[in-house]
Structure formats: C-alpha cells, structure tokens
Amino acid sequence: MTLLIDTYTMWLREILRYKRNWRYLGFQFLFPFMIIVLLGFGFGDLINLGQNISYIDFISSGFIVFMIANGGLGGGFNLIEERNNGFLREVIVAPVSRASIILGKIAGRATLSTAQVIVLVLVLSTMANLSLRNFHITLLSLILMTVLFVCVGVIIAAYFQEAEIYRTIQGMVVFPLMFISGIFFPIDRLPLWLKWISYVNPITYAVELFRFSVLGRNTLPIWISTTLLVVLSTSTFFLSVWLFDRKFRE
Amino acid sequence: MPPAIILKGVTKRFRKNKKEFTAVDNISLEIPRGKIFGLLGPNGAGKTTTISMICTLLTPTKGKILLEGIDVTKDTLEARKRIGLVFQETTLDLELTGRQNLDFHARLFKIDNRKRKVDEALELVGLTKDADVTVRQYSGGMKRRLEISRAIIHEPAMILLDEPTLGLDPVSRRGIWEYINMLIERKNVTVLLTTHYLEEAERLCSRIAIIDKGKVVVQGTPEALKAKIGNDIIILSLKRDDPKLAARLREMKGVKRVVRENGDLFLYVKDVDKTIVPLMKLFSEAQVSGLQIKRPSLDDVFFHYTGHKYEDAAEPERKVNA
Ligand SMILES: Nc1ncnc2c1ncn2[C@@H]1O[C@H](COP(=O)(O)OP(=O)(O)O)[C@@H](O)[C@H]1O
Ligand SMILES: [Mg+2]
C-alpha cells in the first residue's frame, strides 16, 4: 500500500514537471510526427517492402517504438541530472522504498508515452493503416517497453556519473541495437549475422509486439515476444532497484 | 533524558586518488536533546561526511550511530522519519514552485493535514508571497529558508543543518540564524549544525565539538572552551626576540602559558586586570613596541588544541556544483 502511495507521489512530481515544461511537451509530440512523415513519405518510395505494406505503415509503427524506448532511457538520464543537481538526495533520504522511486519514474514516462501514442496513432491513422483497435496490447507493449528502458537507463546511470558518458553509451550501444530491431527495416532483409544479433536484441520483441497491436503484423508468434519482454523487463526492474540502493547513496 | 544522537567510534574511509583515506576518524559524540549543537571545523574536516552518515546517506565503515536509540544502519526507515535535513548544497527541485516542493516532501513523509502544514511552513519562513514562484527564481537566502521550512514540516525530532549559511551575504545569514533559534524555541527539537564559520558556532550553538582532519579535537560550551585555555590573552610585540623575558613572564602569578610566535609573546592569563600592572614592571619601553589585550576566541581554542591556525587548516575548496 505504501509502495503505491509513494509511487503516486513520485509520479505526481514527474507530471508536474512535464506540465511546467510545455515547450518540451510540444516537442515530444511534434518531433516524432515530423520524422515519421519525413521518412514515410520522403524515403518511402526508395524502400519497397512488397507484401502489400507501405513504408509509411512500417516506419510509423516502428518509429513510435523508437520514441518510447528513447523516452524510457531519458528517465535514466534524468537520474544522473537529479544526482548532479542535488535533488536526488531529497528522495534518497526520505522514508520511501527504493522500488517506488523507480516505479514513479516508470509511471511518469509511461503516462507521457501513452499520451504520445494515442495522439500519434490517431493523427497518423488518417494517412496510414495504424489503429488503436488492439489498445490493450498496445498499452501492454508500451508499459513493458517503458519498464525495460527506464530500468536500463537506471542501470547505466548507476555506473556513470557524467551525462556525456551516458549519451555516448546511448549512441554507441542503444541506437545501433535499435537499427537492427526492425524499427526502420524489416529484419528478414538483414544479412544473416545481423539477423542473429537482432534475435538476441530485446528491442526486436518490443517492435514485434507493438507493431502487431497497431498494424496486425508479426513475424514471430506473439506469445514468444510477450513472454520474453515480461521476463526481461521484470528482471531488469529488480536489478535496477538493487543497484539503485547500492550505487546512488555513496 | 538520554541524548538525542549518539555516535560511537564512527569511522568513514573513502578511496581517494586510489588511496585509502579516512575522512572521519573514530568520532564519538553525544548530542543532547533540545539544544543547538555545532560541529565546527575547517573545510575538509569531515563535517559533511559525518552528517551524511547520521542521515543514512552514507554507511559508516566502522562504529554505531543511534538516533533516540534507533540504530540508523539497521532501522533506516525509522531513522529517516525522525530527521529533518538541510544539506550543504541545495536539494530543491528548481523547476517546481516553493509550495510544490513542500507538498512533495509532505507526501513523501505522509503527514496529515498536508495543505495546512505546507501553508504554515511557508508562513513561518516568510515565503507565503513567493510560494507559487518557481524555485529557480529564488535568491540564495530564500532557497535556504525554503529548505529549512521543508526540514521541519514532518515535525522531526532532530534537524541536521550542513553549513546552513554557506555562501550567503551577512544580512541573509543573520536571518537564517534567527530561524534556527526559532526552531529550538518552538518545539522540543534537537538541532545539529555544522559550520566552518567560527562566529556562527559561537553565536548560535550552546555546545560545540571542534573537528579537524576527521577527529574531534575538543568539545564543550563555547564559553568553557575559551575559559579552559586561559581567560584572556596579552600579546607583547618585542623589538627583538628575548628568551629571558619569556622565561620571567612564565614565572609570574596568574600566567598560564606563554607562546612565542614571530617575535610576539602570547600570554594566556587568568585575569588581565590583575596581571597587567605587575607585568608592566617586568619589561622596559626599549624591549617592547606594542601591547594588545585579547579575549580568546574559538580561533585560539582551535590553535591551542591542534597546534595549527584555523585558516591554514582548510583544504583547498573543492569544486561544487553551482
Ligand atoms: N565520496 C568521497 N570520496 C572520496 N573522498 C571524499 C568523499 N567525500 C568526502 N571526501 C573527502 O573527505 C574529506 C572530508 O570531506 P567533508 O566531509 O566534505 O568535509 P567538510 O564538510 O568538513 O568540509 C575531504 O578530504 C574530502 O575530500
Ligand atoms: Mg561540508
């Protein structure tokens, strides 16, 4: 019970911060929309996917995953900032469980992502085949992704103090993984060795599940993607809580 | 009544520049209830490290800390509920308003009548008018006042303040002192503050412990500490060094100690009024170029117990986030 109350408190602050920062908020909706339109219509003709699917359908469902994943990592980045500007101490010495601190970050991110997904899918549905008809699965994949990426962010933040290093890791490890996860190109077009990497890449399964929910397309059985994501996100969650208690105090 | 805070043999070691470094070295203290207790020491003495261990931000390498009998490393959550904190560097959320910062804190501590308590806290430190302005726009003094009000909103039994007036101008500093005194008058709370300002410790604290290089050098009331090293000091500026004169002065009644430093003689005497006249007879105008009478300060207490001057003891200022 107290876990829920504390999570709510942490969530409330995240929401207040979003509300005060309307410029950031506007950008969060505008930027993905611009990219999707640019890639989908600008480059769409260069990439022929066949199988009666247009590139705008493909990239819009994929790029939303990119956006959610990136936002989740931003939650971890946020912890580095909060540690450096001192605020994190206020939370660390409060009588609240460590899990609620991370859950609050996840909940805040998930709220923003949900709003982004609803708005983007509704707007894009006028120009592509996306829809919210499987909204429960959309929501499930969104939550699992947010848990996974916020916690990966926390784990990275636990080991690195500087924002620059964090961004380097994001650029050198996470972005390449996103490129071979089926966000921008179908996996079956990749060379064999990259295909294998993409199958051990958790983002692949997030893309699978999300694309299935908004587009009704999948290349792997859905239960496999779902199970893998559930297992991965819960284990990274527990790892991040454990690390948070050990690494953020000293 | 048992002490509010007990430290028993508390030690903290860090790895610093690839070497073991003892920041707090076997400190034992008892901090009595309902008073303002000061930890006084130069930069790098280990004050922040000590506060951080008491408030559970750091775990001691060795030793035990009890808050009203609660072991802070064992019953961490219970200990946290009893403490109100003001850190050396701000821990406010600059993007939120003053009121939102307090409300967040009140929720974290799950206090009843949250809205009323927040209003009262703002009123107490005179921030009602600016309550709905983002903290980013607050002055340094306003931020510190907000942090003080936040520290007491959950009615903690003890309030820890780490360098509460660091970086403030003299007027704001005096204001903060008033609020700290008010804390003690209003409720039966214990205040533990650290400072590297001698004047602050002297004005504010009913008891102090002087720490240097991680060790408690001496503790007591400021008056007692000063009285212990001699009630007054007479400084004789000599025209040239004169060991014989120093020896004769040492023999005099009422002189506790004579220290020679750079051609000056420091006489620690019990009562300057009784010593000054017989003293005059011991030297001639030819020997002495000046005479000064000084009541001892905590500066002198520090020098007396550590053998080095207070202003030389500080580590070079570490870079802190603005
Ligand atoms: N996390 C840390 N790692 C290594 N050394 C530290 C750490 N924190 C403090 N120190 C060192 O411990 C000593 C005491 O620091 P501190 O407690 O901040 O002193 P004060 O607050 O009295 O100025 C300093 O020499 C400081 O450099
Ligand atoms: Mg300090």
Model confidence pLDDT, tens digit, residues B210-237: 999 999 999 999 888 888 777 788 888 8
Nearest-angstrom CA–CA distance, B293 and B270? 12
Q: Nearest CB to A20: which of B59, B81, B95?
A: B95
Residues of chain A with C-beta less than 8 angstroms from the C-beta of B59? 249-250
Place of tokens 């300060």: B297
| pLDDT classification of B187: cutoffs 50, 70, 90 | confident
**Bridge partner list, B66:** B6, B71
DSSP B78-89: HHHHTEEEE-SS
Assess B137–A contact: CB distance below 8 Å, yes or no.
no
In Å, how far is B77's CA from the nearest CA of chain A? 5
DSSP A196-250: HHHHT-HHHHHHHHHHHHHH---SS-HHHHHHHHHHHHHHHHHHHHHHHHHHTT-
Nearest-angstrom CA–CA distance, B62 and B95? 39
Q: Which two tokens mark B319? A: 């870079």
Nearest-angstrom CA–CA distance, A216 and A69? 21
Domain that holds residue A117: 2-247
Interface residue of A17, A78, A87, A162 to substitute, partner B, most B CBs within 10 Å: A87
Inter-chain residue contact B109 with A5, CB threshold 8 Å: no
Nearest-angstrom CA–CA distance, B147 and B125? 10
Assess B53–A contact: CB distance below 8 Å, yes or no.
no
Q: How far from each other are the two terminal CA atoms of chain A, in whole angstroms?
A: 29
Q: Nearest CB to A87: which of B85, B91, B109?
A: B91
Report, as an integer, the average pLDDT of B165-176: 88
Check residue A17 and give its pLDDT.
Answer: 93
pLDDT in tens, chain A (250 residues): 889 999 999 999 999 999 988 888 898 899 999 988 888 888 777 777 776 778 888 899 999 999 999 999 988 788 888 998 999 999 999 999 999 999 999 999 999 999 999 999 999 999 888 899 899 999 999 999 999 999 999 999 998 888 888 888 888 888 888 888 988 888 888 888 888 899 999 999 999 999 999 998 888 899 999 999 999 999 999 999 999 988 887 6
CB of A217 closer than 8 Å to CB of A131: no
Q: Which two tokens mark A15? A: 């929401």
DSSP A147-165: HHHHHHHHHHHHH---HHH
Ligand 1 mutation pick, B49, B54, B215, max ligand atoms within 8 A of CB = B49
| Nearest alpha carbon, ligand 1 atom 8 | B49
| Nearest alpha carbon, ligand 1 atom 12 | B23
Nearest ligand, CA of residue B40?
1
Q: Which amino acid is at B120?
A: E
CA B50 to ligand 2 center in whole angstroms: 9
How many independent structural domains does chain A possess? 1
CA torsion angle for B52, B57, B60, B63 (degrees, to 10)? 70
CA B214 to ligand 2 center in whole angstroms: 12
Q: Is the confidence at residue B73, as pLDDT, over 50? A: yes
Nearest-angstrom CA–CA distance, B230 and B299? 13
Inter-chain residue contact A90 with B91, CB threshold 8 Å: yes
Closest by Cα among B146, B4, B120 to B70: B4
Q: What digits encode the pLDDT tens for the residues A101-136?
A: 999 999 999 999 999 999 999 999 998 888 998 999
Residues of chain A with C-beta less than 8 angstroms from the C-beta of B91? 86-90
Nearest ligand, CA of residue B314?
1
Q: What digits encode the pLDDT tens for the residues A26-35?
A: 988 999 999 8
- Pairing mode of beta strands B190-195, B215-220: unpaired
Percent helix, percent strand, percent coil in chain B, to nearest 5: 35, 30, 35
* ipTM of the prediction: 0.91
Closest by Cα among B53, B109, B104 to B81: B109
Place of tokens 């070295």: B25
**Bridge partner list, B212:** B215
